[in-house]
């Protein structure tokens, strides 16, 4: 679940004024899932998320009931490139990832963190040679990375994104269109003993495709309308069992469901909709997109060639072949559950890890 298209370097440090129902990037309120943060301000913690597409690090210190980011790193490594065809991580992908992890290790050492958790997701869950690769990472870089389950990944995403959920809407669909998989979580917001509503996971599913794997299969540089429709159809079909099991649509029709997307696809679409001259996390995180706005941006991108998509400052050349795969999955989610609008989250696994680490 690696936020394949967002997070440009140190944008995690950006600040924004608080607005109603919106949080500045450095302000993460306590939630019942994560508990209260209470460590001394001098202590710093690190969270690393090694996904199918991105290698991403946050270092933060506790502040109040949340934390403030003091250092961050994000690099596209495409660890899972070609994995669907071979079942293994390629030598080139492993070398790119090792280079990025060395930078992360240097940052962690420089910050003298009090604790950290470093996780790997779908690419390492699937690759036959991932255990050997992570042993090499430990020996050469000094980082011990654990492969987490899709369920733990979903829990961390919910923990990291919970502050953006509206407390008066009783249910939520939270999703992350990653590089190698797509996580869907169905939540109920229940009132606890303290009177606050906190999210409880009712169900979760990990779909075996994301922007990297779909691009590997369907292509990304040039995507015909027919190919785009095929990607939507595949994603929509994969959602049917989850809908059948949880009957989410009936709650959507009653107006009792909110939707939150924690992925590079939705943050990129938000940046394009806002016509940002460059990706600005403080403008995107916590913003809203209506389904009409999503459809308009997706249609616009589908009409561009590779060069046209690469020219957009919120996409760039490294992501221009991935964005349409993400749009297709998002279109399927919106069609399956027509909530009407989507809260955009530029946060997820790393933030969930940090809040876990800072619990008392």
Domain boundaries, the chain: 9-151+349-357, 165-344
Rounded Cα distance between 69 and 23, Å, is: 14
User: Residue 305's Cα: distance from chain center in Å?
Assistant: 26
Phi and psi for 79 in degrees, rounded to 5?
-60, -35
pLDDT number for residue 5: 40
Spatial contact of 43 and 114, defined as CB atoms under 8 Å apart: yes
Query: How many other C-beta atoms are found inside a 10 Å radius of the C-beta of residue 226?
Result: 7
Spatial contact of 71 and 116, defined as CB atoms under 8 Å apart: no
pLDDT number for residue 8: 35
Instruction: Please tell me the CATH code under which domain 165-344 is placed.
Output: 3.30.420.150
Rounded Cα distance between 329 and 248, Å, is: 18
Bridge partners for 55 per DSSP: 50, 75
Q: Please name which of 213, 327, 323, 321 lies closest in space to residue 279, comparing C-alpha atoms.
A: 323
Instruction: Please tell me the CATH code under which domain 9-151+349-357 is placed.
Output: 3.30.420.40
Spatial contact of 73 and 60, defined as CB atoms under 8 Å apart: no
Bridge partners for 260 per DSSP: 174, 343
Residues of the chain with pLDDT under 70: 1-42, 360
pTM of the model: 0.85
Q: Please name which of 259, 283, 267 lies closest in space to residue 326, comparing C-alpha atoms.
A: 267
pLDDT number for residue 42: 58
Rounded Cα distance between 67 and 299, Å, is: 38
Spatial contact of 325 and 214, defined as CB atoms under 8 Å apart: yes
Q: What is the CA radius of gyration of the chain?
A: 19
Per DSSP, which regions of the chain are E strands?
45-50, 54-63, 66-76, 115-120, 146-147, 171-177, 182-191, 197-207, 257-261, 288-290, 341-344
3-state secondary structure of 274: coil
9-151+349-357 and 165-344 agree in CATH topology = yes
Pairing mode, strands 257-261 and 197-207: unpaired
């Amino acid at each position: 679940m690696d936020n394949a298209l967002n997070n440009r370097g140190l944008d995690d440090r950006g600040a924004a004024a608080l607005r109603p129902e919106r949080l500045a990037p450095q302000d993460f309120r306590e939630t019942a899932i994560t508990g209260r943060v209470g460590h001394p301000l001098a202590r710093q913690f690190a969270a690393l998320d090694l996904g199918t597409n991105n290698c991403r690090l946050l270092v933060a210190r506790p502040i109040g009931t949340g934390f403030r980011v003091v250092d961050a790193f994000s690099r596209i490594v495409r660890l899972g490139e070609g994995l669907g065809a071979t079942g293994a991580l390629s030598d080139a992908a492993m070398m790119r990832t090792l280079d990025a992890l060395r930078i992360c290790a240097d940052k962690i050492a420089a910050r003298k963190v009090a604790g950290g958790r470093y996780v790997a997701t779908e690419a390492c869950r699937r690759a036959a040679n991932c255990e050997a690769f992570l042993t090499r990472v430990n020996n050469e870089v000094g980082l011990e990375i654990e492969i987490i389950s899709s369920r733990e990944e979903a829990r961390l995403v919910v923990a990291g994104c919970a502050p953006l959920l509206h407390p008066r809407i009783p249910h939520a669909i939270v999703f992350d269109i990653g590089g190698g998989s797509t996580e869907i979580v169905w939540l109920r917001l229940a009132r606890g003993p303290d009177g606050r509503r906190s999210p409880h996971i009712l169900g979760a599913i990990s779909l075996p495709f994301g922007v990297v794997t779909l691009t590997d299969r369907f292509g990304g540089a040039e995507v015909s309308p027919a190919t785009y429709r095929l990607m939507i159809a595949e994603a929509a079909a994969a959602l049917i069992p989850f809908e059948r099991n949880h009957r989410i649509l009936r709650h959507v029709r009653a107006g009792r469901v909110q939707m939150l997307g924690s992925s590079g696809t939705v943050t990129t679409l938000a940046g394009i909709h806002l016509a940002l001259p460059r990706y600005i996390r403080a403008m995107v995180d916590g913003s809203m997109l209506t389904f009409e706005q999503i459809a308009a941006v997706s249609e616009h991108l589908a009409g561009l060639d590779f060069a046209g998509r690469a020219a957009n400052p919120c996409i760039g050349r490294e992501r221009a072949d991935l964005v349409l795969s993400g749009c297709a999955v998002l279109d399927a989610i919106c069609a399956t559950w027509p909530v009407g609008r989507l809260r955009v989250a530029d946060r997820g696994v790393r933030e969930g890890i940090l809040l876990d680490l800072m619990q008392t």
